Amino acid sequence: QQQVKQSPQSLIVQKGGISIINCAYENTAFDYFPWYQQFPGKGPALLIAIRPDVSEKKEGRFTISFNKSAKQFSLHIMDSQPGDSATYFCAAKTGGFKTIFGAGTRLFVKA
């Protein structure tokens, strides 16, 4: 009930391509869905977030698509760059309660 399932585990994309990471959840009480980017040796940094009353949110090259009925959401990274190579985590949260993280996707963008 509390899990957030993330796929794929790893992803290799050519420079300039589109990176797509998918997540699914079960708990309909979740009301906030952030994506985090983590570089080796660093803590996660908030990338972009969405609430379930919105189907899409775009910030620069990063877009979240949200499907409330399917309980799925995804991150699209347009024009992927080598500097985007990192681990990406989707997450879900209910009000002030804990943030539940997915297992992570290791993205490698080939130059």
Partner 1 sequence: DAGVTQSPTHLIKTRGQQVTLRCSPISGHKSVSWYQQVLGQGPQFIFQYYEKEERGRGNFPDRFSARQFPNYSSELNVNALLLGDSALYLCASSFYIDTEAFFGQGTRLTVV
Residues that bind partner 1 (CB under 8 A): 6, 34, 36, 41-46, 49, 89, 91, 95-104
What contacts 25, CB < 8 A, 6 or more positions away? 3, 4, 5, 33, 71, 72, 73, 92
To partner 1, the closest distance from the beta carbon of 92 in angstroms equals: 11
CB of 106 to partner 1, least distance (A): 9
Residue number, 51 or 58, with CB nearest to partner 1:
51
Contact yes or no for 106/42 (Cβ under 8 A): no
Strands 4-7 and 19-25: antiparallel
- Min separation Cβ 61 and partner 1, Å: 21
Q: Is 83 helix (H, G, I), strand (E, B) or coil?
A: helix
Q: Which is nearer to partner 1, 7 or 17 (CB)?
A: 7
Residue closer to partner 1 (CB basis): 17 or 27? 27
Strand partners, 101: 91
